Amino acid sequence: MNQNLKPQLMKTTDNWSTPKYLLKLLERSFGKFDYDPCPLRNEDKTNLFKDWKGKIFCNPPYSNVKEFLNKALLEIKKGNVKQAIFLIIPRTSTKYWEEYVMGYADEIHFINKRLKFGNSKSCAPFPSVIIKFTNTKKKDCVRSYVYDLRKKIGGFTLTPSQKARGIE
């Protein structure tokens, strides 16, 4: 982990809201989240400089993933964060994937459907993955799963758009 990594503060936005149904499913799977360092439309860009506490969920700006992964691991190491759940693009050929995800993740959950973020009329042009961190021990291997949205949706009211995409 790099304790001196500085965040990139960008003026352009790549803020896209996490699908509400997915956030509910993640809370069902991993427990209620105490903190989101990347809430949508947050004008305060200093969350990389603040302490994080408890169980966090983070859908970071995809232009700044490395810095948020690093911050989560630093907060886990300090004892402030007990569990960090990330929603990111599985960019398996990047240095941050090799160093942070393959080096420290407890679990990787590949989502079997493309997600629709925010008010977009179509699904994202990329896959998504959920990463779970609970400690800063270096890992030799990481457990991976398929996060099957069709099986996990049960009990939630689906929008017509979700039903049309076959998520039932």
Burial of 48 (0-12, 13-18, 19+ CB in 10 A): buried
Place of tokens 């590949």: 110
The pTM for the full model equals: 0.80
Q: Which residues pair with 133 in a beta bridge?
A: 84
Residues 6+ apart with CB under 8 A from 129: 87, 88, 89, 90, 108, 109, 110, 111
Tens place of pLDDT per residue across the chain (168 aa): 555 544 333 334 466 788 888 999 999 899 999 999 987 766 566 788 999 999 999 999 888 899 999 999 999 999 999 999 999 999 999 999 999 999 999 999 999 888 888 777 888 888 999 999 999 999 888 888 888 776 665 444 445 555 454 444
